[in-house]
């Protein structure tokens, strides 16, 4: 039925019900003479008109009544009560009388008949229209507001493939009760038993506000059942309207390893970014692109997306444009190794804030190509930093790595030397130069997770270098938010360290990913391949004597790193092409670890 026909039908039904209610009320209280009186006809006319007016105001003609609930009943109550009050006012003004008993009876009949006409379809559907037998019997973890919403949508949607048959919840006051006709069959610890008793075929975790450790605890219970488990979207996605409550997603490794988000200092960040010109190098990369997404929330006047790869820069530009941002986007296809181009870009754009995320980060590849690591990670950083200094940039934030601590690899050594460049620049420039160190980010290009996923898709095995290999992990959005926060906290010269939480064994990560993909370890398998050149068994964010114990901001520390003069590292920048790969590698690691007594400087003199 079209909206117009539906509207006319509902208005016709309501008009008939209103007039019937008025006349029945008058007949019950008085007599047949009163039924034909002027006051009852005037009351009937006033009640019909006012009912339609208030029905329009409270959207009674726009609601889908097969899904009627308490909210619809409240709207009916408000519309009818106000129409009765309007009719009473008319009686007083026009007839100088108030037939309160008639109006009371009319009000009760009005609610009964209007409400009954609306809820009749809901009652019929719930009573006689049975769900498809093909639906999967589903256990809902969480009997709170989200859980009941999930159950209602499963019951009401003919398109849903899931049928709620039980809840589990740790709230003892809900045990042995029914919600939406679905029993609360136990607590979270009882998931395996409930699955067996109720012949469950699917599990949905319906607690969007769960803390990460609780997600892991619940998922471990679900894993014991070998039943497919999904989870509600993140609360922020539900609130923003990106997804609805019935759009379940598979549990992801980020749910198990991520941490609780930190509340940002919105005022501080806004002061440093809003209305300013911001430049991001490596804007097409995993971290750089996420920094761009986060920055646009603070409405900078202009955002310069600078990167070497045209496709990745195009992708992030198109993505940001679709978000209807007010920020002007400028794209620069540039190589940070090109000093003249960096100077040209900075002279033209005059950025107030720079987030320097461009770098070579792949450890084994940089072991084989140390000269490229020097050119990109060190000389490229120096080019960008000097251009920022010469063109009045206020704050320069370099993205560093936990591999810069006690580096044993070319990648780590060049990132540490890049930190030295930034530290030295801060001493000689009015620009505030800072670095931010953090460990691995989940899902970034070149990280283990995309590799593991590809290996699982091909049937395995998943390759792990060593059973004791551990790493720190952080989600890309969290790392990017904290980098932006660190930029707002910058006073100059600091090396900020993001609290990475507890380190995770890579083999544990691999096992979780295999289970999340719906396989067992026996099906996929794990193969140990041995440590690669330049790798360490574990990473650290600071040496023991380099960290201030207190946090300058939640999850952000400041490091106590030694002062460095340009002469300490300038030799390798000027003479790296004359060294063999082995000599260059050793030189970089020696400089990064402050071992200046080696052959390096005399070799380059």
Dihedrals phi, psi of 62, to nearest 5 degrees? -110, 0
Kindly name the residue from 403, 415, 515, 555 that is annotated as catalytic.
Answer: 403
Alpha-carbon distance 147 to 167, whole Å?
8
Q: Are strands 395-399 and 353-356 parallel, antiparallel or unpaired?
A: parallel
Q: Rg (Cα) of the chain, in Å, rounded?
A: 34
Alpha-carbon distance 569 to 574, whole Å?
9
Neighbours of 31 (CB within 10 A): 9
Whose tokens are 């080019």? That residue is 383
Dihedrals phi, psi of 132, to nearest 5 degrees? -60, 140
3-state secondary structure at position 322:
coil
Alpha helix (H) residue ranges in 462-529: 476-489, 506-516, 521-524
For residue 403 the two structure tokens come to: 């591999």
Q: Is 403 a catalytic residue?
A: yes
Alpha-carbon distance 338 to 376, whole Å?
10
Q: Which residues contact 8 (CB under 8 A, 6 or more apart)?
A: none
DSSP string, 66-127: GG--HHHHHHHHHHHHHHHHHHHHHHHHHHS---HHHHHHHHHHHHHHHHHHHHHHHHHHHH
Q: Which residues pair with 100 in a beta bridge?
A: none
DSSP assignment letter at 309:
-
* Residues involved in catalysis: 403
């Amino acid at each position: 039925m079209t909206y117009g026909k539906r509207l006319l039908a509902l208005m016709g039904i309501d008009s008939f019900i209103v007039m019937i209610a008025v006349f029945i009320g008058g007949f019950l209280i008085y007599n047949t003479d009163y039924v034909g009186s002027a006051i009852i006809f005037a009351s009937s006319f006033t009640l019909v008109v006012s009912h339609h007016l208030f029905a329009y105001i409270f959207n009674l003609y726009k609601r889908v009544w097969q899904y009627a609930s308490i909210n619809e009943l409240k709207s009916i109550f408000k519309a009818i009560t106000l129409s009765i009050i309007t009719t009473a006012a008319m009686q007083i003004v026009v007839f100088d009388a108030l037939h309160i008993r008639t109006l009371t009876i009319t009000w009760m009949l009005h609610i009964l008949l209007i409400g009954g006409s609306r809820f009749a379809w809901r009652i019929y559907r719930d009573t006689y229209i049975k769900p498809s037998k093909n639906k999967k019997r589903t256990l809902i973890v969480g009997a709170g507001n989200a859980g009941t919403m999930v159950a209602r949508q499963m019951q009401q949607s003919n398109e849903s493939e899931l049928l709620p048959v039980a809840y589990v919840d740790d709230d003892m006051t809900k045990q042995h009760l029914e919600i939406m006709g679905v029993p609360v069959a136990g607590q979270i610890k009882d998931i395996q038993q409930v699955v067996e008793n109720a012949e469950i075929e699917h599990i949905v975790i319906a607690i969007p506000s769960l803390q990460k450790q609780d997600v892991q605890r619940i998922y471990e219970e679900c894993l014991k059942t070998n039943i497919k488990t999904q989870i509600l979207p993140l609360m922020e996605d539900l609130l923003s309207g990106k997804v609805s409550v019935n759009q379940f997603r598979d549990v992801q490794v980020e749910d198990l390893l991520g941490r609780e988000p930190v509340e940002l200092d919105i005022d501080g960040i806004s002061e440093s970014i809003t209305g300013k010109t911001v430049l991001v190098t490596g804007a097409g990369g995993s971290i750089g692109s996420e920094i761009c997404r986060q920055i646009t929330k603070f409405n900078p006047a202009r955002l310069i997306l600078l990167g070497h790869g045209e496709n990745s820069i195009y992708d992030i530009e198109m993505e940001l444009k679709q978000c209807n941002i007010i920020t002007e986007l400028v794209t620069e296809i540039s190589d940070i190794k090109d000093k003249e181009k960096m100077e040209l870009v900075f002279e033209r754009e005059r950025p107030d804030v720079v987030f320097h995320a461009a770098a070579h980060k792949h450890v084994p590849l940089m072991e084989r190509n140390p000269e490229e690591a020097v050119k990109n990670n060190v000389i490229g950083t120096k080019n960008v930093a000097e251009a920022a200094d010469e063109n009045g940039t206020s704050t320069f934030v370099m993205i560093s790595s936990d591999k810069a601590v006690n580096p044993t690899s070319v990648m780590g050594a060049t990132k540490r030397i890049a930190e030295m460049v930034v530290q030295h620049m801060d001493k000689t420039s009015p620009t505030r130069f800072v670095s931010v160190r953090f460990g691995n980010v989940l899902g970034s290009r070149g990280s283990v997770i995309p590799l593991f996923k590809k290996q699982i898709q091909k049937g395995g095995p998943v390759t792990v270098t060593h059973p004791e290999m551990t790493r720190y992990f952080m989600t890309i959005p969290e790392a990017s938010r904290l980098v932006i926060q660190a930029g707002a906290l910058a006073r100059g010269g600091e090396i900020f360290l993001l609290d990475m939480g507890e380190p995770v064994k890579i083999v544990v990560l691999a096992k979780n990913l295999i289970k999340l993909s719906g396989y067992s370890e026996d099906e996929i398998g794990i193969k140990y391949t041995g440590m690669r050149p330049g790798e360490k068994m574990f990473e650290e964010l600071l040496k023991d004597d380099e960290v201030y114990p207190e946090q300058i901001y939640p999850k952000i520390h400041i490091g106590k790193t030694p002062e460095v003069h340009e002469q300490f590292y300038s030799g390798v920048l000027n003479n790296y092409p004359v060294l063999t790969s082995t000599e260059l590698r050793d030189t970089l690691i020696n400089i990064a670890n402050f071992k200046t007594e080696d052959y390096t400087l005399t070799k380059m003199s």
